[in-house]
Every structure is written in structure tokens, then in C-alpha cells.
Amino acid sequence: MTEFVTADDGTRIAFDREGEGPAVIFVGGAFQHRAMDPESRELASRLAARGLTVLNYDRRGRGESGGAAPFTLADEITALRALLDAAGGRAALFGMSSGGSISLAAAAAGLPVTALALWEVPLDPEGAERPQRFLEGLRQRIREGDGDATVEYFMQDFPPEWIAGAKASPAWVGMTAVGPTLEVDSESLAVAASRPHRELWGGIRVPVLALVGADTLPLFPPAADAIAAAVPGARRVDVAGRDHRWDPDELARILAEFLLSTAG
């Protein structure tokens, strides 16, 4: 059954809660929300069966959650604060793709996070100017109200076959519907490139796993290494997986061991 929390600005945030034990909140990346993300729902059930409480939520403007453009990183962090309250005041975060850069920003902002597990965060090198230019271009297309152009622009660096497959699938309508919320994903990645990573995340004092698929796209392993180098005590862990997708058995095992061992 869907539950709701209310962020400080009155926006209702929808989530599922499953399992009993130490809490982890799933932070989705681009396009992810409960109605169109069976892989995350399956992973949530596997972790619940291993003794964790999983809160899997729809980010602002997606699924059953409220919110209106412009969508900002600060507002998403406010939603996470409300979810942490619902989880009992503290929880780990599992950030998927650009949800990982949102999770890093939340932890750096001082939210009561107990651990971070980050799946293939698509970071540019620190100091890169491209993420800010990309954010500005995305904002322009969002303001123009062209959903197709917004999503096509956001996916410009994806493998061409991924874009073609998305446009040919029934999911494309849902992807364009959440197009304005992609501003948060892009903003979080622009922030991540804006200053040295150690300056941004060096104050994070919780256990961190930077997870990467063993057979993945070239940008993800260096990004995982950058996170491991920037956060004290963080480490990179390779997981069976390819093309930005994980092996559910191995990821559930690794996440459960990590999250149960770091729960205090």
C-alpha cells in the first residue's frame, strides 16, 4: 500500500515500505519511479527478505508524488529529509545512477544518513564545464515545454540503440511526462563537477560503497574510483552486471551485507 509523507513545502511524496530492520531509502535516477521500475521493486523485495526495511519512493513530479516545475536539487533533498523522518529519523541511501549524485549531495548537506550505496553514478571529471552547460541547455528545453526534445537532449550521450528503443516503446510517453524532473538529475551532476570532489564530499563520515557493474560502460568505473578517492573510507566494489544494469542476486547480497553491517 502506498504511503505518503509531506515535505516542508507541503508537497506529498509517495513511497512503498517493505520489510523490517535497518532502513534504506532508494533514490532513483533519471526517469525511475515505482510504476515503471520493476528491477528496483524486485531488489527492494530481496533486501526486505534479508532483514532490511526498504522505502522506495517516487521523486517529486513522478508517479504519485506531487510537485511542480521548476524542480531543484534543494527541494529533492527536502523530500529526502521527510522520508528519513518516516524511516525513524535515520537511514541509509541507495542511489541509482544520477540518484547517486543526489544521495551524495544529501549526505554532504548533513542529512541523518547512516550509509551510502551508489550504483554507477555518471560523474564527469571534477572541474569539467560541460555539466553546467548541459544543465543550461536542458533548462531551456524544459521552459519551451517540448517533452520529446527535453528527453532527447537529456539522452544525447546514451548509446543510440538505447534512445531508439526508448522512443519505440510504450515507456516513451512516461519518460517525456517526467522530463521536467530531469533538471534535478542534471543539477546534481553539475554540482558534482563544480568543485574538487574531496572538497564536496570529504566531510561525509558514513560508510560508502561505489558500486559498478563488471561489464559496463566506460564512464562508470572511473567515476566509482573518483568517489572512493574523495570520501574518507569509501571503497569501490565491482558487481556482476552490464550496460548499467545489475545482477539482482549478487547486488542484493552485497547490499544486504553492507547495510546490515553498517546499521547502528
pLDDT the model gives residue 264:
67
Domains in the chain, CATH or no CATH each:
3-124+195-262 (3.40.50.1820)
Is the separation of the CB atoms in 131 and 223 below 8 Å? no
pLDDT the model gives residue 1:
85
> In a structure prediction context, what are the per-residue pLDDT tens digits for the chain, which is 264 residues long?
899 999 999 999 999 999 999 999 999 999 999 999 999 999 999 999 999 999 999 999 999 999 999 999 999 999 999 999 999 999 999 999 999 999 999 999 999 999 999 999 999 999 999 999 999 999 999 999 999 999 999 999 888 888 898 899 998 999 999 999 999 999 999 999 999 999 999 999 999 999 999 999 899 999 999 999 999 999 999 999 998 999 999 999 999 999 999 986
Q: What is the DSSP string of 100-123?
A: HHHHHHHHHTT--EEEEEEE---P
Which residues lie closer than 8 Å to 80 by C-beta, 6 or more apart? 25, 27, 93, 102, 106, 111
pLDDT the model gives residue 118:
98
What is the SS3 assignment for 217? coil
What single DSSP character describes residue 139?
A: H
pLDDT the model gives residue 143:
96
